Amino acid sequence: MSARLAAFAALLLLGACAAPDRVILLPDDQGHVGKLNVSGSGGETLLDSAYAEARVKSGQPRRGSTDAASVDREFGTVLAALPPAPVSHQLYFITETDQLTAESRAEAPAILAEVAKRPAAEVVVIGHTDTMGTDDYNDKLSLQRAVAVKQQLVALGFDPARVTVEGHGKRELLVQTGDGVPEARNRRAEILVR
């Protein structure tokens, strides 16, 4: 029995050690390349160029490189399963109201339709105001703006449970101004989509 068991154990051990762990650093959507520190029990290496690769066997990382075609061939399925990258959009409002400007009203359907078609999209809408009026007034107005955007999403069939609304009043100006200054670019809602 022991010889067979030993042979089986050796086979298992061989199987476990057959292939090294591999890591390949890739350029991101914008072509930027980050860095990865790869450490094993016997050493470490830093990957910092596109398609740089480390194979780790017996705790020892060994550097190499590969190319886009090989990565597509070997990792096509897993890369295709990556969710779409998060995006953000801005819509602008007519002064003192939760009504979109004519320009944003024209853009909104395409933006909101794009959001609505992403699978299980999670959306945060943050409303903002310019510095006209009190904090209290602007807190309420900014929240109304966020709610107005949410209502448009829900009208397109978007699950209301996946939209969070926030009103940040006049605290997070896109364009810095003094108090009491009307500024169209600050009267906005950010739509953060994941």
Query: Is 69 an interacting residue with respect to another protein (CB under 8 A)?
Result: no
Residue 191 pairs with which residues in a beta bridge? 89, 125
- Is 137 within 8 Å of 180 (Cβ atoms)? no
**Residue 147 Cβ, how far from another protein at the closest point, in Å?**
21
Among 56, 132, 148, 163, which residue interacts with another protein (rule: CB under 8 A)? 56
Q: Would you say 1 or 14 has its CB closer to another protein?
A: 14
Q: Which DSSP string do the residues of 59-83 spell out, in sequence order?
A: TEEEEEE--HHHHHHHHHHHHHTSP
Helix or strand or coil: residue 122?
coil
DSSP 170: T
Among 1, 3, 5, 16, which residue interacts with another protein (rule: CB under 8 A)? 16
- Chain position carrying tokens 């470490």: 44
Q: Would you say 27 or 64 has its CB closer to another protein?
A: 27
Residues in contact with another protein by the rule CB under 8 A: 15-29, 32, 34-41, 47, 54, 56-59, 61, 71, 75, 77-86, 118-120, 122, 194
